[in-house]
Every structure is written in structure tokens, then in C-alpha cells.
Chains A and B, each alone.
Chain A
Amino acid sequence: MHQHKTLGYTFVSLFVMMFLSVTSFAQQAPVLDTSSDREDSIEHATANALENKISHQVCVSFDVFQALLNYNSTYREGYELAVDYYYKKDLYLVAEGGWGHSHLNNSRLSYASNNSFYRVGFNKSLLNRSSPKDWDMAFIGLRLAAAPIQRGQVTYTIIDNYWGTTNGTINATNFVGVWAELTGGFRVELFKGLFLGYSIRGKFLLNQKPFLTLAPIYVAGYGKSEKNAVFDFNAYITYAIRWKKGRSMPATTKK
């Protein structure tokens, strides 16, 4: 029953995202597909001049995919926010953070854990901006992340078919997880200042030793910590705050 509900929710989510995607394509297509060679050269020149433009942008993003996972999952809950600032030359400085908790209670293990996490890094856009108002981006990026983790007391049962069952407890502990991330994705401005974006992340645990005693089933920001390398996915709704500053724009702009 729960699987049917989960599947239905997933398909509804996919449909909504697909609709938004098509809407975005429709907005972008005329500008991109009708460009002549002459326009392309003007666009290129304009793109080179964008470093002198007046707009600055800070984006605040909320990961809606985590909310979807929270709804589907029986053992974890996590939330994730991101802030990025356009620095220069298609380079965005990024700070991300969030929190979450998990609990496990099966025939062999029982414990709870919670953590917050913090990431810093950058995104580099791979798309040339067609105008100063073009903030769409496909990007790759790097992150360095840390998470202070609190793991509660563990109750365990070791089932041995030959010799019998062993029960025991392990004291609660606090430790820090550190990992690096390689990320790629894109985001598209659907309405003025409102973006939809996705990112795929490869995460690599840098300090494995604290996880050897017992790796929490879920570390917010990382995922399943019993694996030293994991993949993750984010779907962001982003709101952009822009302001003007400095020199005026050149006269030759395409839009």
C-alpha cells in the first residue's frame, strides 16, 4: 500500500517537473534558436563584456527533493538549504547547510542519530550568458563539507546460528564527518527571480575512522555513511536577489 502511494507521489512529482521544464524550454527556445551568425558574434562580444555589468546576484535555494525523500522514507528526515553569490567570470561562491535525523530499529540494531552539516565551495557555469539578464546555468562545482554528528546509545543483537545470540549496548558518542563533493547540474529561471534546478553529486568520505564502530544509517548532507562514496541528487527551488552597482552597461546588448 505504502509502495503504491510512494510510486504515485513520484509520478506526480515527475509530471510537475516535466511541465515546468517544458515551460522553461518554451521561454528560452526563440532566443536561442533564431540567432544568426551575426547575432552570435554580437552575443559573444556581449558575453565578454558581462564582467563589467552592473548586476549582482545572491540566490537562496531550498532542496525540494529532500522533502520528497522525507515523505517516502521510514527512517530518515533531512533538510537542505543553499546560498550562492555570483562572483565573476561565471564563478559562483556557494555555502550550503542543513540538518536531519534518523532512527533505526530492526532485529539487530536500534539507535538514533542526528546532525547538522555545512558545505562551502564554488560552481562554475558552463553556459555563456546571452545577456546581463540571463542567469540560467549549467555548472560543475566542488564542495568541502563537515557534519557534527550525535549518535545515541546503540542496542545490538548478534545472531549466531551455531552458538546463540549475543546482546549488548554501545555508548552514545559525538564525532565529525568530513567529505568532499564533486557536483554538476543546472538551473533555469522560470519566472523573474525564481529558478528550478537540479544537481547530481558524488560524495567522498575523507575521514572513515569514526564510522568504523558504527556508521549511522543516514547522515544529513551525505546520505548512507556506511559507504565511503555515494551519489546524491538535489532538486532546488531558488529565489534570486539582485542589485545594481558600479559601471553602466555597454550600449550593444542583444536583448
Chain B
Amino acid sequence: MTNLQIRSIFFALSFFCLCLFSCSTNIQPCSQPTEFPVHMHTSQVVGYDTNHIAIIRDTVMAKPVIGFVRNDTAYRYAFSSQTFSDFNMFLSTLSDSTSFFISPDSTNTTLGYDTLTFYYSRQRQFISNSCGFGYYFNIQSIRTTHNFIDSILIENTNVTNNASTQNLRLYIR
């Protein structure tokens, strides 16, 4: 390869890069999530074996209702006409505890509601210059009523931007 050919290649590459960088100098709008929910999966206790150990299986909720409580007022923010077993719950960024209510089946009122109260610490997290800051959370404890909820297992206390991490497993009766 001659010097001339080498120079030609470099010039071509340079022009390409010049175009590329000239077009990417301004601030892009925010395109990342800035709110990071608790990921919860539901399971069901279907019975107990002879040693009184629970027999567990994955389950779904039929037409569930989920909402949060703010200033003693309940706000419904998730309602589904379908069944599903994975929920996202957004913790309050204004306080260190949040209460949610859950009904497993909005068409069967006899099942009632249960209330989950999360206690956690917040950590301000830089996301990007376009999106600013958000909050990560560290779950310290959860209290719940037991109308249809059997128990809750905290699998991962850290609520971050990792969408593949499951934080809670909710066992229903």
C-alpha cells in the first residue's frame, strides 16, 4: 500500500468522523427511566406436607387492583382486566415509608384488600445530564395485613435501575 493510498483512506475516515461528530453536539432529551419500582412476583401456598413445610407454586392474580395511600387517601394506580403475576410498585420519593393496598380479584370482593407498608432508605442517584437525578431505595422492612396474603419474602433489598432484579415474592393463600 502506497503512502498515497494510506492518506486517501485516512482522509475518507476523517470526513466520515467529521460528519458524525458535527451532528452530535447538542443535548439529547431524556430517554431513560427516572423512576425505579419494586419488582414483585406472586406465588401461592397450596398446602403443607407432612413436615408442615409449605408447598409453593407460582400463581397469578385475576383482575387485581393495586393502589397506594397518600395523605390517608387511597389512589388506585394499577387495574387489570387480565391476570398477571408480576407487579411494579413505586415507592414514595418524599418519605421513608409507603403503603399500598392490593386486591387479588376486583370481581370477587369477598377476598378483600391487604395493605403492605414498606420501610426503606432513599439514595439520590445521578442518571444522566438529560434526565437528572432519581432515587434508589434500600428496603429495610415490610409490614402487611393477612386477608389473602400469607407472607412476603424480600429477595433483594436494593431497588435500582436493574429491571431484571426481583425484589419481593408475595405468597398468597
Interface residues of A (CB under 8 A from B): 6, 10, 13-14, 17-18, 21, 24-25, 28-29, 32-33, 65, 68-69, 72-76, 104, 106, 108-109, 126-127, 130, 136, 138, 156-164, 166, 168, 185-186, 188, 198, 200, 212-217, 224, 226, 232-233, 235
Contacts and interface: CB of A to CB of B under 8 A. Distances in A.
Contacts of B132: 106, 108-109, 156-159
Contacts of B93: 158, 160, 163-164, 166
B4 A127 contact: no
B25 A69 contact: yes
Given A162-B35, A162-B90, A28 B3 contact: yes
Contact of B4 (A33, A65, A214): A33
B6 A138 contact: yes
B7 to A, nearest CB: 6
Contact of A73 (B3, B19, B25, B94): B25
B68 A186 contact: no
A166 B131 CA distance: 14
Contacts of A168: 124
B84 interface: no
A40 to B, nearest CB: 11
A215 B129 contact: yes
Contacts, number: 131
Given A108-B30, A108-B131, A213 B126 contact: yes
Closest 6 CB pairs of A and B: A108-B132, A198-B14, A217-B129, A186-B10, A233-B17, A73-B25
9 contacts: A17-B14, A68-B22, A106-B132, A108-B30, A163-B70, A163-B93, A186-B10, A198-B10, A233-B17
Given A163-B93, A233-B18, A75 B27 contact: yes
Interface string B1-44: 01110111011011101111111011100100011000000000
A108 B29 CA distance: 11
B14 A32 contact: no
Given A163-B92, A233-B21, A104 B27 contact: yes
A251 B53 CA distance: 97
A106 B27 contact: yes
A136 B2 CA distance: 13
Given A69-B25, A108-B131, A160-B35, A235 B14 contact: yes
A25 B129 contact: no
Q: Which of B10, B26, B70 has the most CB of A within 10 A?
A: B10
